[in-house]
Structure 1
Amino acid sequence: MRALALTLALTAAPVAASELSSSITGKLILPAFEELAEDSRTLARAAQANCDAQSGALRAAYGEAFDAWIAASHFRFGPTETDSRAFALAFWPDSRSKTPKALAGLIRSEDAGIKDPAAFAGYSIAARGFYALEFLLYDPQLSTAGTPEYRCALTRAVSTDIAATSQAISADWQQNYAAELRAPGSRYQTEDEITQELFKALTTGLQVLDGMRLGRPLGTYQKPRPDRAEARRSGRSLRHVLVSLNALEPLALALAGGDADLQEKIAAGFAKARTKAEALGDPVFAGVSDPAGRFRIEALQQEVKDLHILMREDLGPALGVAAGFNALDGD
């Protein structure tokens, strides 16, 4: 992935502190959202060409666009938060099964409003985004519910909406928010505030890996929850962990700046987590219900926890910032 390719470049040529935010914005953030916009356009075109749930081309385009979102999703501030765009792309976790209920309701009523992109953008976020499209492409019930014609229209509506939302995020970054992040101004008063925003994106991304992507299916030893694994219908649960690790590492290395020792620790930590993830061979974390499989998944989770500790206890103090509050911290 593009993010991994940048890892070596950022390690070999650390930027000065005054250029940190500008470098991260130009080399990591903008390219991530440009890729999301491009891959989402390809997804919308694939749905127009063939909307059948079994279409190999459509499923491949869906996977590429979903990868791009996971790789960019830790930058969850600014344009991604405007108009609840992040939730419109990724309504998860869905603990009350709102997405299948919303989709079933649309299919049952054959709501004609889905054919108007502007109208569909105002529909419930539970019926929009990558997780909704996963149900339409991979769920045995919803991928065959109702008439083929309506399912086709709904698949196209969701795909077109993903593309429009992704393009809006990318354009907003290019035209407005990038300048805010490159230098103190109206939104951020100091360089430290900008650095803290970026550091919080990193630590929140690791929290999502630990508590949600791994923690939700692990549940407890007495009550594992394999059915809570992210994107399990499309077999993407483990893939999302790897894509996220590969996207978070360049950000962590960039934030470490010219501290070669800290960069070495960070790279080693990510390498250990990646090695354990790649060795799992369990794409949907079904092994959480088996003692041996569970131990291996917990070992991966521990590597992610160790990375989080490294960021909090070493990288944060080196930057002179703390992670700060985020939505995952609860009340």
Structure 2
Amino acid sequence: MWKYCLILYSLLLAPAYAQEVDMPKLVTNVVNEHILPGYERLATRSAALSKAVETSCPDNLDAVKLAYNEAFDAWMGVSHLRFGPSEDNNRAFALAFWPDTRGFTPKTLASLLTDNDPAIHDAEKFTTVSIAARGFYPMEFLLYDTQFTEEPAPQRCDLMAVMAKDIANNSAAILRDWQAGYGEMMIKADNDIYRAPEEAVRQLYTALTTGLQFTAQTRLGRPMGSFEKPRPNRAEARRSERSQRHVLLSLQANRQLASLLSENDEDIDRGFERAIRIVEDLDDPAFAGVGSIQGRIRVEALQGAITLTNDLVAEYLGPKLGISAGFNALDGD
């Protein structure tokens, strides 16, 4: 009963809290301290990946893998920011098409290699291929899946080179658009996209809560499957054993965003701290452990901690920003 009373009390105070918050300052801090640095890191590391493929494939695949993982890490730092420049021209999907529920990625890659498609050798033509063959996830197949690692090296390297160039171009374009006007437009909030600072803050709040829901429901929910039928082969980036790492990096990125939006709310931060501590102690890089009872229990505990953190965001941060507890980031209500 006390919990429902607290939520009701928070809702009653929401307008007063919202008036006390300096909305333009919040947006400015998020853009300058979270969004721009994140995309700068992605652009830099993606350019390094493109250079690594060009200079080190196939003779030094370890160097390519290192650059790949560093660039993928950078993407995880901004993967929750699915609005604005990342959505233009389907750039976010071109960087990260997942989950691939129908297995389009390996089929498309196999077709490109088997037919020696001209797009493999032409960066401009490559932008017209299926989204399933572009970005970090198909490159994971080429680097880690035995179906493709045994392909003739020159052809596979050509495909990885054009793929890495595509990643670098999209990353640079997103950063350029943020630097060239979108960031300032979001801060000023006097335009057709953001007519008031409150709308910009709501967009950032949506990114935060959607990011947490995606991690709990998809990054963890897909490999968990059901108790009777776990699905470890559905784990994100399992071939490179990045599944657990993606949860950690996503939580760390969302923690920073939550801290900026809440102005360092300690209750919310404790929720993130607990979830991060659980994932750091998990020692299950590809979530293969969901197939055992003990392993599943540990992943369920992580999922519960992330869901609880999202509840704390809704309970404490939402009312402070004038956003009702009934707001659902996934359906926009």
* TM norm structure 1: 0.91
Q: Deviations over 1:225-269 (max 9, x none)?
A: 000000000000000000011111111011112xx6xx1111111
In the alignment, structure 1 segments of 5+ residues that lack a partner are 1-14
**What is the alpha-carbon distance in structure 2 between the residues aligned to residue 330 and residue 53 of structure 1?**
49
What's the CA shift for 1:280?
A: 0.7
Deviation track 1:160-180 (CA, whole Å, cap 9, x = no partner) reads 110011001110111021011
SS in 2 for 1:235: coil
Cα distance per residue 1:56-107 (max 9 Å; x no partner):
1110000000010011011110000000000000000001110000000001
1:303 aligns with 2:305: yes
> Deviation at 1:318?
1.1
The residue that corresponds to 1:105 in the other structure is: 111
> Do 1:192 and 1:321's aligned partners in 2 also have CA atoms closer than 8 Å?
no
For the residue of structure 2 that corresponds to 1:142, the secondary structure is helix
Q: Give the aligned partner of residue 9 of structure 2.
A: none
Residue 225 of structure 1: aligned partner: 231
Name the CA distance, whole Å, in 2 between partners of 1:325 and 1:267.
Answer: 21
Deviation at 1:113, TM superposition (A): 2.3
CA distance in 2, matches of 1:179, 1:321: 23
Structure 1 vs Structure 2 CA RMSD: 1.7
- Output aligned runs, 1:270-309, within 5 Å: 270-309=272-311
Identity across the alignment (%): 47
Structure 2: distance between partners of 1:17 and 1:87: 30
Instruction: Kindly state the Cα deviation for residue 18 of structure 1 after the two structures are TM-superposed.
Output: 3.2
Which of 241, 247, 252 is 1:246 aligned to?
Answer: 252
Q: After the TM superposition, which of the residue ranges 176-185 and 222-231 deviates more from structure 2?
A: 176-185
Q: 1:152 and 2:154 equivalent?
A: no
Pairs aligned (count): 311
Instruction: Choose which of 206, 219, 230 in structure 2 pairs with 1:200.
Output: 206
Given the alignment of the two structures, is residue 51 of structure 1 paired with residue 53 of structure 2, yes or no?
no
The separation in 2 between residues aligned to 1:274 and 1:27, in whole angstroms, is 21
1: distance between equivalents of 2:154 and 2:241?
26
Gaps of 5+ in 2: 1-20
The partner residue of 2:187 within 182, 192, 197 is 182
Letter in 2 for 1:182: I
Decide whether aligned partners of structure 1 residues 287 and 330 sit closer, same or farther in structure 2, where only a CA change above 3 A counts.
farther
> Could you say which residue in structure 2 is the equivalent of 1:161?
166
- Structure label with greater radius of gyration: 2
CA contact (8 A) 1:53 1:138 kept: no
CA distance in 2, matches of 1:140, 1:16: 53
Aligned partners of 2:279 and 2:302 also within 8 Å? yes
Q: 1:34 aligns with which of 25, 37, 40?
A: 40
Deviations 1:178-212 (A, max 9, x none): 01111112121111101100000000100111011
Query: What pairs up with 1:123-138 in 2 under 5 angstroms?
Result: 123-138=129-144
Paired residues for 1:65-144 under 5 Å: 65-144=71-150
Q: Which moved more, 1:201-210 or 1:307-316?
A: 307-316
Once superposed, which parts of structure 1, at least 4 consecutive aligned residues long, lie more than 4 Å away? 322-326, 328-331
Sort the Cα spacing of 1:53 and 1:84 in 2 relative to 1 into closer, same or farther, 3 A: farther
- Residue 236 of structure 1 corresponds to which residue in structure 2? 242
Deviation at 1:140, TM superposition (A): 0.7
